[in-house]
Chains A and B, each alone.
Chain A
Amino acid sequence: MMGGHLAFGTFSYDAAHLLGGGVLVLSFVLLYQRRLTAVINTYALQSVVLAAAAAWQAWVQDAPHLYLTAGITLAAKGIAIPLGMHRIVRQLQVNRSLESALGIFPSMAMGVGLVTLSILVVLPVTPQAQTLTREELALALSVVLMGLLMMITRRTAMTQVLGFMSLENGLILAAVSVAGMPLVVELSVAVLVLLAFAVFGVFFFRIRDRFDSLHLDNLDRVGGIHR
């Protein structure tokens, strides 16, 4: 058994671990959804669970600035961005059913593979760290990789952006679970995401104007890839 003041069986450890696990499970739910509105709602739920995880860490680590992180996560990613997304979906009248490049089951199976991979990567390189930190890092890396997987397997601009945002949720999860991460880092990541969302919003409208669709296969033509 590893050292550290947070050991197995203590409630604060278990709850932190469970919340991190909840974020990861919602990453899988994101891959499973077939409708755009459901994907957006799942993303909002994931952000809310992440905010709860951050608040819990703030209480456990006795680090008040993490409450701020939790507040920003809840307000920006749990409420503002999903509302904006729903608005864009209504305005652009995009096709609400999604297709996956790989199929649902193979992409979920790849997700399980990625989780295993991140555990195998994180555990051997962090033998000195506390148990909590190690496992939260493994969870966070899994969420990041699942976000990348979602960006690969989904073929519309909206879902790629949601994949990117969910990846960023993984980064925040890593940041809050490592004690001593300065607030500047978290704030700059949060601001970056808001900016990125604004830029993506503009891009949605441009792509839509140009191709009458948000399907990214159209962009391959512009990029000079001929199939």
Chain B
Amino acid sequence: MSMLVALLAQLLHIGLMLAVAPLAVGLIRKVKARLLGRIGPPILQPWRDLARLARKQPVLAENASWVFSGAPAVTFAATLAAAALVPSFALGMTAAPLADLLVIAGLLGVARCALGLAGMDVGTAFGGIGSSREMMFAVFAEPALLLVIFTLSLLAGSTNLDAVAGALHDGALGLRVSLGLSLIAMLAIAIAENGRIPVDNPATHLELTMVHEAMVLEYSGRHLALIEAAAMLKLLVWLGLIGTIFVPFAIAPAGAPTTAWGLGLLGWAAKMLALLLALAAFETSIAKMRVFRVPEFLGIAVLFALLAVVFLFVSQGFA
């Protein structure tokens, strides 16, 4: 019976992630437009864009290989798998034993790698620039993420996301300087990974400084729909990771009855809403940084993550 409940939670979670991801992006665009004094497109607009793109036939370059046409599916599948592993409203879903933080980092890495290869496949200059920049950022973002994971696993005694969330949920660990430093590092990584404003501008399509959009410039039709959907899902995955790890309240614990899901859903919605509004306000108030300053920004995320590890050794009585 409990297996069925876990499976139900898992399916509900995946459906929720798929349904909400475009709405989250729509909400950010709406709030940003309102903050700038414009009315902005309706929140449902990203869904409409996706539906329209999915109906269109993709246009392929003459020299596009199977890498180019296969990459969108790989990217979307890897991101969806990661999304399935990051809990939203309930712990102890069917996939929970697989939800290792390293696995999630790896899945996101696979998605990025597929897109990076696809960006270079056709041989246009823009795609190549986008891919090389994306990889340059990843070189800094991934070590920072691994250090954060190291800190969390030292604290919780496991790299499993459900175990980490459970340990933090119980509150036995209390407030820790290490957790604060990890949170700073994690926010910086999340901004860079999702190409949000100080690092990359998600709203431009033709600019010399764009990164993600440059990489996927050659895509059209249903391929583009898959890539856009993957990018939206990725944003939700990162917000979910931050919410689950650093704000571990109001999530239904493993084995809780289905009646606890309601509170979990409400809590999750509140967390996501707060994070999305904060992101929109942050993006409106800050200017994009120069591309060659981004490694410095991410290097600092690495340093903060390293500092978190150092402090953890202190508070565990290392001398």
**CA A11 – CA B173 in complex, angstroms?**
10
Shortest distance between the CB of A6 and any CB in chain B (Å): 12
The residues of B that contact A123 with a CB separation of less than 8 Å are: 314, 318-319
Q: Tell me whether A18 is interfacial, beta carbon within 8 Å.
A: yes
Chain B residue at smallest Cβ distance from A116: B310
Q: Number of B residues whose C-beta is below 8 Å from A?
A: 25
B183 → chain A closest CB, angstroms: 11
From B9-17, B122-130, B270-278, B295-303, the one touching the partner chain is B295-303
Q: Is A155 positioned at the interface, with any CB of B under 8 Å from its CB?
A: no
Instruction: Check B310 against A2 for contact (C-beta < 8 Å).
Output: no
Q: Quick check: which of A43-51, A101-109, A168-176, A181-189 contacts chain B, the rest being far away?
A: A101-109
- Does A124 count as interface, using CB distance less than 8 angstroms? yes
Q: Among B174, B180, B303, point to the contact of A9 (Cβ < 8 A).
A: B174
Q: Which of B167-209 contact A (CB under 8 A)?
A: 172-177, 180-181, 184
Residues of B within 8 Å of A1, CB to CB, are: 317
- Are B318 and A9 in contact, with the CB atoms below 8 A? no
The reply to whether A115 and B175 form a contact with Cβ atoms under 8 Å apart is no
Give the total number of A-B pairs whose CB atoms are below 8 A apart: 68
Kindly provide the distance from the CB of A17 to the nearest chain B CB, expressed in whole angstroms: 6
Task: For the complex, give the distance between the alpha carbons of A116 and B172 in Å.
Answer: 26
Instruction: Give B200-237 as 1s and 0s: 1 = Cβ < 8 Å from A's Cβ atoms.
Output: 00000000000000000000000000000000000000
Per-residue contact bits, chain A 80-106, to B (CB 8 Å; 1 contact, 0 not): 000000000000000000000000110
Chain B CB within 10 Å — which of A13, A17, A109 has the most? A17
The answer to whether B314 and A135 have CB atoms under 8 Å apart is yes
Within 8 A of B (CB), among A122-151: 123-124, 127, 131, 135, 138
CA distance A14 to B123 in the complex (A): 54
Q: Are B319 and A112 in contact (CB under 8 A)?
A: no
Measured CB to CB, the residues of B under 8 A from A are 172-177, 180-181, 184, 295-296, 299-300, 303-304, 306-307, 310-311, 313-315, 317-319
